[in-house]
Amino acid sequence: MGPMSARRLLPSRDVALLLGPCIAYLVAFSVFPLLYSLRISFTDLGASDATGNWIGLQNYADLLADPLFWNAAGNTAIMVSAAVTIQVVLGTALALFFNRHLRGAWIVRGALILPMLLTPIVVGVMWRALLNPDWGIVNWAIAQVGLGPINWLGSTEWAIRTLILVDVWQWTPFVFLIVFARLQSLPRDVFEAADVDGAGRLGMLTRITLPLVLPAIAFAAIFRAIDAFRSFDLVYGLSYGGPARSTTTLSFLAFQNGFQFQNYGYAAATAYVMVIALIVATTVLLRFVHVRRADAA
């Protein structure tokens, strides 16, 4: 603290100058669009008319009666829960694997960040090639061990699994990196003490390591769940929602209603159901972040 603390409470002019542009910009290009979207969701706005008619909650009522909405909600729920569960298990396993000293492992570890930086559109194309039913190398590879062929993206049964598979490929490194960072920051003496106490390897893992990294795992899981819930680009690039809407997520449904069918009011209502779900999820996440910051302080 010191002599500066009194001064720090004063400078509201500085706050306005430093923070003002950022707040103003976000109000104009994030808050306003969100409110505008809410307004649109109460209208029957389409591409042809300029304002649309106020129809109150009609879009939301239609949505709840729309089997396509429930189909998309179901697909989204399956995708989010399956993808995040697998990512958490694999990501934590990877983190534990890389936490032991292995010469040369850092090269693989460093390069594992690449998938999550990639354009989802390109990830989609890449996997459509890998999984091509006629000449893709994956079906060739599993045929060598007597399996398949699998119609990865052409059957309703497999397409959603394939979407999950690709999401897992792209985002497991995310969970891995966060859990790994946490593991690396743990004090060594905890493990040494446990070793002295004669805790076996499994005991060390379940009773010491996992509880200590649990906050990181939970954080990564929530983060991933929110992102998987919103995912649109990958669906567009990989399966375009098909076949027979078996991979149509809520984002993709909102996109189709808005962009393809130009039914802006209905699309906005679809998206707003997502916004409400995300506000709830984000509130939970931020509470969690606060806990962590308090921990660190």
Partner 1 sequence: MTRQLERVVAYVVLVLIAIVGFAPFVYLLLLSTKRRIDIVADVPPTLSFDWNQIVKNYSEVIGSQGMLGFTLNSVIVVGLATLLSLVIGVPAAYAFSRLRFRGSESWASTILSFRFMPPVAVAIPIFLMIKGVGLQNSYPGLILPYVAFTLPLVVWIMIGFFDEIPREIDDAALVDGCGRIAVLWRVLLPLARPGMTVAAIFGAIFIWNEFLVALYVINSRGLQTVTLGAATLVSAQRPIDWNIAAAVGIVTVVPIFLFSLFIQRYIVRGITSGAVR
Q: How far is CA 261 from CA 45, 163, 255, in A?
A: 12, 24, 9
The nearer residue to partner 1, 82 or 237, going by C-beta atoms, is: 237
| Closest distance to partner 1 from the beta carbon of 18 (Å) | 4
Of 64 and 108, CB closest to partner 1: 108
User: Which residues from 229-268 bind partner 1, rule CB under 8 A?
Assistant: 229-230, 232-233, 236-240, 251, 254-255, 258-259, 264, 267-268
What is the identity of the amino acid at 98? F
275 binds partner 1 (CB under 8 A): yes
Q: Does 213 bind partner 1 (CB under 8 A)?
A: no
Question: Cα dihedral sign for 268, 270, 276, 277?
Answer: negative
For every residue of 9-66, which 3-state class applies, written as one string?
A: HCCHHHHHHHHHHHHHHHHHHHHHHHHHHHHHCCECCCCCCCCCCECCCHHHHHHHHC
Q: Which is closer to partner 1, CB of 61 or CB of 102?
A: 102
Identify the three-state secondary structure at position 2: coil
Minimum distance, C-beta of residue 135 to partner 1, in the bound complex (Å): 5
Q: Which two tokens stand for residue 106?
A: 């850092």
Shortest Cβ 61–partner 1 spacing (Å): 19
Tokens for 39, please give them.
Answer: 């307004």
Residue number, 7 or 188, with CB nearest to partner 1: 7
Binding residues for partner 1 restricted to 48-87, rule: CB under 8 A: none
Q: What is the rounded CA–CA span in Å between residue 285 and residue 120? A: 24
Q: What are phi and psi of 226, to 5 degrees?
A: -65, -45
Whether the link from the prior residue into 149 is cis, omega within 30° of 0, is yes
Inter-residue contact 228 to 80 (CB < 8 Å): yes
State yes or no: residue 285 binds partner 1 (CB under 8 A).
Answer: yes
**Interface region with partner 1, contact rule CB under 8 A, candidates 62-70, 79-87, 129-137, 189-197:** 129-137
* Pick 112 or 208: Cβ nearer partner 1: 112
223: contact with partner 1 by CB under 8 A: yes
The one segment of 67-75, 79-87, 194-202, 288-296 that binds partner 1 by CB under 8 A: 288-296
Task: Please provide the DSSP assignment of 257-273 as one string.
Answer: IIIIS--HHHHHHHHHH
Interface of this chain with partner 1, residues 153 to 182, rule: CB under 8 A: 169, 173-174, 177-178, 181
Q: Is the CB of 186 or the CB of 278 nearer to partner 1?
A: 278
Closest CA to 268 of 32, 44, 61: 44
Residue 248 CB, shortest distance to partner 1, in Å, is 13
Per-residue interface string for the shown chain with partner 1, residues 84-123, x marking contact by CB under 8 A: ----------x--x--x-x-xx--x-xxxxxxxxxxxxx-
- Rounded Cα distance between 158 and 151, Å, is 7
Nearer to partner 1, 108 or 193 (CB): 108
Touching partner 1, residues 22-41 (CB under 8 A): 22-23, 25-26, 28-30, 32-34, 36-37, 40
